Amino acid sequence: MPELPPHDIADLGLAARGRTRIEWAEHGMPVLGLLRERFAAERPLEGQTVAACLHVTTETANLVRTLAAGGADVTLVASNPLSTQDDTAAALVGEYGLSVHAVRGEDAEAYYRHIDVALDRRPTMTMDDGCDLVNRLHGERPGQAARVLAGTEETTTGVIRLRAMERAGALRYPVVAVNDTPSKRLFDNRFGTGQSTIDGIIRSTNLLLAGRTVVVAGFGFCGRGVASRARGLGAEIVVTEVDPIRALEARMEGYRVMPMADAAAHGDVFVTVTGNTSIIRGEHLEAMHDGAILCNAGHFDVEIDLAALEKLAVSRRGVRPDAEEFRMADGRRLVLLAQGRLVNLGAAEGHPAAVMDMSFADQALVMAWLSTEGPPRAAGVVDVPPGIDAEVARLKLASMGTAIDVLTEEQETYLGSYDLGT
Ligand SMILES: NC(=O)c1ccc[n+]([C@@H]2O[C@H](COP(=O)([O-])OP(=O)(O)OC[C@H]3O[C@@H](n4cnc5c(N)ncnc54)[C@H](O)[C@@H]3O)[C@@H](O)[C@H]2O)c1
């Protein structure tokens, strides 16, 4: 057996099962597959040491395989203590020879110890999902920032944190906001989070959504997806928002819109997906009816006030995998899914491969661009170049066998002119 790379994982014995599942995901990721072949031939990441802090799923496995094929020396650690698939981690180490430090259910100490291992490798590039890695590097090892050429960020919350760092003058190298590019955000956040959040709710409860009231807090890119998928299964949707445009959009989509203070008494299922904190608080928990189900699809476990839930409860017990029932003093039971962490990754498998194909093709192409051409500025939050976005959409359409029209010469002239009117 060849020597194994440095690792800290739950059980190497799960490697064979993990490999089968990684191969299954690979079938759903044709664009990334094409890029992996291209990377193997062109080696755009030769000489780069990459610290990747991502959800350790089968789709991520195919991304890190692509980076390695491109010549990168990659270390993968988890971006959430509960999202690691232990068989995937085992396969990456045992079957693909890649360095992984991640264990499902790891505590905060292990979580940051693993991030530190990736930083000990003295990365020249970072790939982050939620900004914990970048934050750790800047906070604990500021001297290392000068060594980093650039990084990428996968999710909305991470981009929000990076922009705050930039405003404070604290961000010391360029980070590309992969999340914000249309070929990522319009598909991954919406269709990916939409479907996989419902998947997590159903796997952990086996609930019939038809005829239920689902309260979706936050009608952003993710919230729109969750609301439309839940409606598709026959649920009545209530949206809570703080942004008047988003609230109006939800209303005109035909959803009910109200403050959480009112929604609390109506909901059978509550899904927070705001990227903000303390969305469901003690006063809301007090108003909920017996059996109400609570879950979160936003990046951090701060959207449901877990301390308030624990304080109000007189007892608690696990009722199904990833579902915990809290009994209130008045006898009501509230059920929390996946410990209030990302329900789609904690209680299901995260986004399906077909949508991660696009997000991770964006990631791979951005990393190659940064490595071969160099970042456009010395520090700050950087947009994905439009060429990359269009290429990913074109390749995805081609993989789906979908052709589109092309502008005729006459149409191009018409669109470029201003003298043709009524
Ligand atoms: N579960 C996943 O796999 C997954 C995938 C992508 C993004 N995310 C995370 O989901 C969260 C949302 O991402 P997004 O792309 O939809 O962001 P977004 O900015 O498009 O949407 C967030 C919405 O929440 C609203 N909001 C903020 N505070 C609120 C409050 N107090 N009450 C009600 N609404 C409030 C905002 O007005 C906004 O419309 C982020 O944390 C992001 O990182 C999770």
Which residues, in sequence order, are CB contacts of 168 under 8 Å at separation 6+? none
Residue 222 near ligand 1, beta carbon < 6 Å: yes
* pLDDT tens, residue by residue, 187-200: 999 999 999 999 99
Residue 342 near ligand 1, beta carbon < 6 Å: yes
For 375-393, b/e burial (b = at least 16 CB within 10 A) is beeebbbbebbeebbebbb
For 334-343, b/e burial (b = at least 16 CB within 10 A) is bbbbbbbbbb
- For residue 5, give the DSSP letter: P
The pLDDT of residue 374 is above 60: yes
* pLDDT tens, residue by residue, 117-131: 999 999 999 999 999
Model pLDDT, residue 386: 87
| pLDDT, averaged across the chain | 97
Position 381, amino acid:
V
Whole-number Å distance, alpha carbon 149 to ligand 1 midpoint, is 29
Spatial separation of the C-alpha atoms in residues 180 and 176, rounded to whole Å:
9
The pLDDT of residue 26 is above 90: yes
Residue whose Cα lies nearest atom 42 of ligand 1: it is: 156
Whole-number Å distance, alpha carbon 48 to ligand 1 midpoint, is 33
The pLDDT of 360-370, averaged and rounded, is 98
Residue 190 near ligand 1, beta carbon < 6 Å: no
* pLDDT tens, residue by residue, 83-114: 999 999 999 999 999 999 999 999 999 999 99
Residue 261 near ligand 1, beta carbon < 6 Å: no
Residue 193 near ligand 1, beta carbon < 6 Å: yes
Model pLDDT, residue 422: 79
Model pLDDT, residue 338: 98
Spatial separation of the C-alpha atoms in residues 266 and 59, rounded to whole Å:
37
The pLDDT of 203-211, averaged and rounded, is 98
The pLDDT of 74-80, averaged and rounded, is 97
The pLDDT of residue 1 is above 80: no
Residue whose Cα lies nearest atom 17 of ligand 1: it is: 220
Residue 94 near ligand 1, beta carbon < 6 Å: no
Nearest-atom number in ligand 1 for the CA of 351 is 3
Grade residue 213 by pLDDT with cuts at 50, 70 and 90: very high
Residue 60 near ligand 1, beta carbon < 6 Å: no
Residue 225 near ligand 1, beta carbon < 6 Å: no
* pLDDT tens, residue by residue, 259-292: 999 999 999 999 999 999 999 999 999 999 999 9
Question: What share of the chain in percent tops pLDDT 90?
Answer: 98
Residue 189 near ligand 1, beta carbon < 6 Å: yes
Whole-number Å distance, alpha carbon 94 to ligand 1 midpoint, is 36
The pLDDT of residue 380 is above 60: yes
Model pLDDT, residue 84: 97
- The full set of domains in the chain, from first to last, is 12-184+351-399 (3.40.50.1480), 192-346 (3.40.50.720)
| Closest alpha carbon to 337 in 207, 213, 234, 222 | 207
For 288-317, b/e burial (b = at least 16 CB within 10 A) is beeebbbbbbbbbbbbbbbebbeebbeeee
H-run or E-run covering 119: helix 108-120
* pLDDT tens, residue by residue, 338-353: 999 999 999 999 999 9
Residue 157 near ligand 1, beta carbon < 6 Å: yes
Whole-model pTM?
Answer: 0.94
- For residue 85, give the DSSP letter: -
The pLDDT of residue 2 is above 70: no
Grade residue 219 by pLDDT with cuts at 50, 70 and 90: very high
Residue whose Cα lies nearest atom 15 of ligand 1: it is: 221
